[in-house]
Amino acid sequence: MTPTITQTNLYINGEYVPSVKGETLSIYSPNDDSLVTDKIQAGSEADVDKAVAAAKAVFPAWRNTAGSERGRLMLRFADLLEASTERMAELESVAMGQPVSVAKKAIAGGLSVWRYYAGWAGKIRGDSFMPTEADGSYKLVQYEPLGVCAGICAWNGSHGLAAWKLAPALAAGNTYVLKPSEKSPLALLEYGRLFAEAGFPPGVVNIVPGAGPTGSAIASHMDIAKVAFTGSAAVGRAVMKAASASNLKTVTLELGGKSPALVFADADLANAVQHTSAGFLRNSGQVCFASSRVLVHESVADEYVRGVKAAFEAARLQMAHSLRPETVYGPVADRKQFERIMGFLDHAKAEGTQVLAGGGRLGDQGTFIEPTVFLNPDLGSRVYREEIFGPVLSINTFRDEDEAVRLANDTSYGLGSSVYTSDLGRALRVADKMDAGTVGINGVFITSAQTPFGGFKQSGTGKESGEEGLRAYLRAKTIHINMHPLSSAKQ
């Protein structure tokens, strides 16, 4: 049963309000193409201005709020969000096809982030240096909030991405404007009532859904000090250009990847198969750091391939309507994403790439795509080199460790990677050589609130999560105190 949609307006200065222009977004269920709602208000430049003005007005008071109080409010919000897990999961599911079982885990992950950063509020420390150097000055370094910050979320993991952006910013004393994706705004719009119930002052958090023009207005706004963006590389470049052309605001970009998984001859193959099939297919392959390129040692390739083929064929039988509690894999996010992925499949098959499993759509309704495996695609092919962002895996072989590392790093991306081997020395040696921001050993990489997340190369710049994610919402101020002012005056 489709959940009732209760919040369709923007959340600005503590109130739900319609957009200035009255433009709306339509959400269609990827399960059956039915209309969920056509009443989601789309924020315009004028709405972004209102949200930023509200955040700017309350910033001095929020900055000066005791850290312990900010942390208390964040913990209260987390408790309210946890109590709303069932509804939030259903809203996410109906918007972009994420199975409710997966959505609940994603919400739990976001909750851990909120509680982690709530513990940081009030514990932001600086540095000091005693006047023992030649200049005789006492030196202080203090860390201050940036001001009004903004986040632009992707659609594939709304709760985790919102937590990565909002929680460290609020803990550090910043105020915020959040833009949910136009594909999955339903759950994040509900956050407004939770922030109000938790006791956050009006204006501290503002939620403005919308498509490209809304994001552009945020990226180019002169009163926003920082923008954190998660999405495609093309849009990320546009965000960086707009930030540079406006007020040189700080930018954090997480732009996806084409991540490798290396399976060595001494790996536990059953474990490797499990993690590169079920682990890869979570959220129907719509995970930015998912290892969509498997490189397996030629001596165990046949056995590994048999295992993956069986796993993908079994996964096909576990695809169903995302609102069913037993569903493991759902449809891809929407019709546009479906057509994009199908274009990759059709192109690969036209090139003669061997299809090991899947390769087509599933059913005649919705945006279900069969879990697909391509065997030995050409190393220059689109299906091997470009981010597909769907349930599509490619498998190639390697002869030795050096070739494995070379093939793994031969990409313009550098977000995720994984290594499967029983040799700890090799695992750490290869992890050190991976040109990627994250490495999982003998398992898919799992994000943690305690550790930073982000990529190298064209996978983005900056980090979210962990202490580095907090530092990204602070600026350092250096203060030098002359300890001998009278002596200096006489010279």
Which uninterrupted H or E stretch holds 129?
A: strand 127-129
Displacement of CA 193 from its chain's centroid (Å): 23
Residue 478: half-sphere exposure toward Cβ, Cα within 13 Å:
4
Q: Check 90, 92, 190, 254 and give the catalytic one.
A: 254
Q: Is the dihedral of CA 154, 291, 276, 334 positive or negative?
A: positive
DSSP per-residue letters across 188-223: HHTHHHHHHHHTPPTTSEEE---SHHHHHHHHT-TT
What does the alpha-carbon distance between residue 409 and residue 1 come to, in Å, rounded to a whole number? 45
* Cβ within 8 Å of residue 202, ≥6 positions away: 13, 14, 15, 54, 58, 196
What angle separates helix 212-219 from helix 45-63, to the nearest 10 degrees?
50
What angle separates helix 67-83 from helix 85-96, to the nearest 10 degrees?
70
- What are 321's two structure tokens? 């309507």
* Cβ within 8 Å of residue 387, ≥6 positions away: 256, 257, 258, 292, 413
- Sequence length of the chain is 491
Phi and psi at residue 351, in whole multiples of 5°?
-80, -5
What does the alpha-carbon distance between residue 409 and residue 407 come to, in Å, rounded to a whole number? 6
Location of structure tokens 């290396």: 262
What does the alpha-carbon distance between residue 314 and residue 320 come to, in Å, rounded to a whole number? 13
Q: Contact, 369 vs 391, CB < 8 A?
A: yes
Q: Is 45 helix (H, G, I), strand (E, B) or coil?
A: helix
401 catalytic, yes or no? no
What does the alpha-carbon distance between residue 438 and residue 259 come to, in Å, rounded to a whole number? 10
Location of structure tokens 């006489």: 490
DSSP type of residue 365? S
What does the alpha-carbon distance between residue 394 and residue 21 come to, in Å, rounded to a whole number? 46
**Would you please indicate which residues are annotated as catalytic (active-site) residues?**
254
